[in-house]
A and B are shown apart, each in its own frame.
Chain A
Amino acid sequence: MSEQLKVPTMAEMMAEGKQPEILFWVGSAGSYDDRAKKITKAFVKILNKANVNFAVLGTEESNTGDVAKRAGNEFLFQMQAVMNIEVLNAYEIKRIVTCDPHSFNCIKNEYPGLGGNYDVIHHTQYIQELMSAGRLTVEGNTYKGKRITFHDPCYLGRGNGVYDAPRDVLKKTNATLIEMKRHKGTALCCGAGGAQMFKDAEPGNKEINVLRTEDAIETQPEIIATGCPYCNTMMTDGVKFKEKEGDIKVMDIAELIANA
């Protein structure tokens, strides 16, 4: 990305006595993973374009503890949660947006019980909101008529019932949206959830991400759209495994909209 991104931190905002309309929770993947960082930047590009007054926690952000919780380490999860809640509450954060459905689910559903109450939304919901408020429009025709299939992230779809926002946003690009056989409530997991991202799979006859990529390939897509950094990695690997990287791109919805 050539143009300079404006990424104010909460600390800077605080120093200037300002409060952002929304906090962008970047998440660990979005901060450190090379592929996910591109999604983060694409989303910031959208925020900048729509003139959203947002901020990030920057170095004050820490892992949500979500993955530790799913791995069974409730101690570590609650330690992380309590630390993050302390920071968020100190900044009087009301609204949070994130590109990671795992952070989204964790902060939205599991932080309130530990004293962290925020209005948390997924970035596809926020993009939809910006569009319907007229703050963001898709002008270009980059994706007009392109065949796109959307892979539902478990913690966005089944986990929280958000199925329409990502699809509505995709439709705005005038792309042809094709559903996989398993979608929405019956969508197959990419294989990364429940801490699987960080370990080898148990013995079996196939990798889950390969099976899911096969679901996607059946729709003969030009682009597999994702809404989760982990899904993105898994589907990208699946496409490579199937030697289809020449024909099929795996892109986050934020990237699709930022490039449209």
Chain B
Amino acid sequence: MEYLPNIIFAVILILGIGYFVRNIKKIIRNIKLGQEVDASDNKSQRWKNVAYIALGQSKMVKRPVSGFLHAIVYVGFIIINIEVLEIIIDGLFGTHRIGQQVLPEWLYGFLIGSFEILSVLVLVSVIVFWLRRNVIKIKRFLSSEMKGWPKSDGNIILYFEVVLMCLFLVMNATDTVFQTAGSGNVISQFIAPWFDGLSVGTLYIVEKTAWWLHIVGILIFLNYLYFSKHLHILLAFPNVYLGRVEPKGKFNNLDAVTAEVKLMMDPDADPYAAPAETSEDDVPAKFGASDVMDLNQIQLLNAYTCTECGRCTSECPANLTGKKLSPRKIMMDTRDRLEEVGKNIEANKGKFVDDGKQLLGDYITNEELWACTTCNACVEACPVSINPLSIIMDMRRYLVMEQSAAPMELNNMMTNIENNGAPWPYNQMDRLNWKDE
């Protein structure tokens, strides 16, 4: 019976990590539904981006207030989690503060001391974040796509962090051995007096309860990620690595179109020739995207990475002038639809069964797509290199090339280009007339 706590701990740990891994596998399966995309180029630039944009938060601090607060929570999250290592060892082997026993006193004191200071800073930042979301009413948190679950999600994450930080401090404050040693209890020594008058036995129970709730809380939070916008704490890194390294103005050229254009322009091509031998797997190329499977894997990873901060939307000229388009909503819709497709696959034994729905129309409307000016403000604003514009463009391509569903004025413009090489109905032969006017 003496090993019961160790066994319970091991079981909780395995369940917590196991369920998380299961969900991560779902994410990977869903992302792989997308088209393959080559990102093997520009390795050094990609690593630089990870260093500056992801690790260095260079885009976050473009907005100093939220950037600074976020940096505290981010650093706090990474550093305080070193403590989890000790908790796991203690939990599995029944030790108590293994670090205190094996590390030099000054080092252990320094580590725990920094964790304590950071946890207070994180608490303060998280409270400010909550005020920004719920009291100050910052515009980008009030958009229509932020009603309901996305709003609760944002708050739940903050509550998690408050509870975890408090438990960490209480756990330290009620640890009589740790307090007596008096090294590293920079903050908790001021909390300890709150528990004055409790018997040693009660203090022990409070300490153990805080310890257990802390680690269980961490595991619950870990598993909450999959259901939340908070996945960015993990996915931001691969997402930034895979983010675009070419000029933002450069849009990809569709290879399937290039093949057809080459054929059209080739004077030797036989228009009546039978199509070349194709293997049975060859599906006729679809131009553009109408559903998540038509998007590429980086675009789908983008959708899971989005933490709905709304910096994209707050910079979008269409959104700023009251149009329906919100780049954040494009990302949220893509993720929602991808999750729906994933659940469909699970319900149908590993195969997607047509559900009569798609990303285009059921989630994203033509009106949103046509409001985009392709200005790249959303791409520039994203702190984790998400590209909502590429999804908008792929869906426009589908609208125009598969459905001929461009607005009338654009059809006129395109007809003009086809007929006389200019978007207006002017004669090609008049192109140089300006010279003599």
Q: Are B406 and A71 in contact (CB under 8 A)?
A: yes
Q: Are B322 and A206 in contact (CB under 8 A)?
A: yes
Chain A residues in 8 Å Cβ range of B257: 74-75, 78
* Contact code string B397-414 (vs A, CB < 8 Å = 1, else 0): 111110000110110111
The contact of A110 among B62, B253, B431, by CB within 8 Å, is B253
Residues facing B in A32-52 (CB within 8 A) are: 32-33, 37, 40-41, 44
The contact of B413 among A31, A74, A198, by CB within 8 Å, is A198
Please measure, in the bound complex, the distance between the C-alpha atom of A82 and the C-alpha atom of B420, giving whole angstroms: 16
Chain B residues in 8 Å Cβ range of A200: 407, 409
A176 touches B (CB below 8 Å):
no
A73 touches B (CB below 8 Å):
yes
Q: Are B251 and A155 in contact (CB under 8 A)?
A: no
Please measure, in the bound complex, the distance between the C-alpha atom of A7 and the C-alpha atom of B396, giving whole angstroms: 39
Supply 20 further A-B pairs (C-beta < 8 A) apart from A31-B433, A71-B400, A211-B321: A28-B421, A30-B434, A31-B434, A32-B426, A56-B432, A68-B417, A71-B406, A73-B414, A80-B417, A109-B247, A154-B374, A154-B377, A158-B380, A159-B376, A186-B381, A191-B321, A194-B372, A196-B373, A203-B322, A203-B367
Please measure, in the bound complex, the distance between the C-alpha atom of A76 and the C-alpha atom of B409, giving whole angstroms: 16
Please measure, in the bound complex, the distance between the C-alpha atom of A30 and the C-alpha atom of B434, giving whole angstroms: 9
Chain A residues in 8 Å Cβ range of B324: 202-203
Contact A82:B261 (CB < 8 A) given known A109-B246, A158-B377: yes
Residues facing B in A1-37 (CB within 8 A) are: 5, 7, 9, 26, 28, 30-33, 37
Complex: chain A residue closest to B392, CB-CB: A194
Chain B residues in 8 Å Cβ range of A197: 423
Chain A residues in 8 Å Cβ range of B424: 28, 32-33
Chain B residues in 8 Å Cβ range of A199: 370, 407, 409-410, 413
Please measure, in the bound complex, the distance between the C-alpha atom of A193 and the C-alpha atom of B370, giving whole angstroms: 11
Cβ contacts A to B, 8 pairs, < 8 Å: A28-B421, A31-B432, A32-B434, A61-B421, A78-B253, A110-B250, A154-B377, A192-B373
What is A's interface to B at a CB cutoff of 8 Å? 5, 7, 9, 26, 28, 30-33, 37, 40-41, 44, 56, 58-59, 61-63, 65, 67-76, 78-80, 82, 105, 108-110, 113-114, 154-155, 158-161, 185-186, 188-189, 191-208, 211-212
B28 touches A (CB below 8 Å):
no
The contact of A191 among B317, B379, B380, B421, by CB within 8 Å, is B317
The contact of B428 among A62, A204, A212, by CB within 8 Å, is A62
Complex: chain A residue closest to B256, CB-CB: A74
| Count of inter-chain pairs, beta carbons less than 8 A | 216
Shortest Cβ distance from B257 into chain A, in angstroms? 5
Chain B residues in 8 Å Cβ range of A110: 250-251, 253
Contact A76:B417 (CB < 8 A) given known A71-B400, A154-B373, A154-B376: yes
B318 touches A (CB below 8 Å):
yes
Q: Are B317 and A189 in contact (CB under 8 A)?
A: yes
Chain A residues in 8 Å Cβ range of B376: 154, 158-159
Q: Are A78 and B258 in contact (CB under 8 A)?
A: yes
Please measure, in the bound complex, the distance between the C-alpha atom of A202 and the C-alpha atom of B324, giving whole angstroms: 8
Q: Are A79 and B380 in contact (CB under 8 A)?
A: no
* Contact code string B241-279 (vs A, CB < 8 Å = 1, else 0): 000001111110110011011101100000000000000
Shortest Cβ distance from B378 into chain A, in angstroms? 10
B354 touches A (CB below 8 Å):
no
Chain A residues in 8 Å Cβ range of B99: none
Interface residues on B, range: 35 or more
Shortest Cβ distance from A232 into chain B, in angstroms? 15
Please measure, in the bound complex, the distance between the C-alpha atom of A111 and the C-alpha atom of B421, giving whole angstroms: 17
Please measure, in the bound complex, the distance between the C-alpha atom of A69 and the C-alpha atom of B374, giving whole angstroms: 11
Chain B residues in 8 Å Cβ range of A189: 317, 373, 375, 377
Please measure, in the bound complex, the distance between the C-alpha atom of A70 and the C-alpha atom of B372, giving whole angstroms: 10
The contact of A26 among B322, B371, B429, B431, by CB within 8 Å, is B431
B287 touches A (CB below 8 Å):
yes
Q: Are B249 and A155 in contact (CB under 8 A)?
A: yes
Complex: chain A residue closest to B254, CB-CB: A74
B325 touches A (CB below 8 Å):
yes
Q: Are A59 and B428 in contact (CB under 8 A)?
A: yes
Q: Are A186 and B380 in contact (CB under 8 A)?
A: yes
Which of A7, A31, A71, A80: most chain B Cβ within 10 A?
Answer: A71
Contact A185:B380 (CB < 8 A) given known A74-B401, A202-B318: yes
The contact of A31 among B288, B410, B422, by CB within 8 Å, is B422
Q: Are A71 and B410 in contact (CB under 8 A)?
A: yes
Q: Are A80 and B421 in contact (CB under 8 A)?
A: yes
Contact A78:B250 (CB < 8 A) given known A158-B377, A202-B318: no
The contact of B248 among A59, A63, A158, by CB within 8 Å, is A158
B435 touches A (CB below 8 Å):
yes
Contact A193:B374 (CB < 8 A) given known A32-B426, A76-B414, A199-B409: yes
Shortest Cβ distance from B73 into chain A, in angstroms? 24
Please measure, in the bound complex, the distance between the C-alpha atom of A159 and the C-alpha atom of B381, giving whole angstroms: 13
Chain B residues in 8 Å Cβ range of A71: 396, 400, 406, 410, 413-414
Q: Are B375 and A186 in contact (CB under 8 A)?
A: no
Q: Are A63 and B417 in contact (CB under 8 A)?
A: yes
The contact of A205 among B261, B321, B371, B399, by CB within 8 Å, is B321
B41 touches A (CB below 8 Å):
no
Chain B residues in 8 Å Cβ range of A44: 435
B418 touches A (CB below 8 Å):
yes
Contact A72:B396 (CB < 8 A) given known A78-B257, A199-B409: yes
Q: Give the 6 A-B CB pairs with smallest separation, nearest first.
A: A159-B249, A205-B322, A72-B396, A194-B374, A62-B421, A109-B250
Chain B residues in 8 Å Cβ range of A41: 434
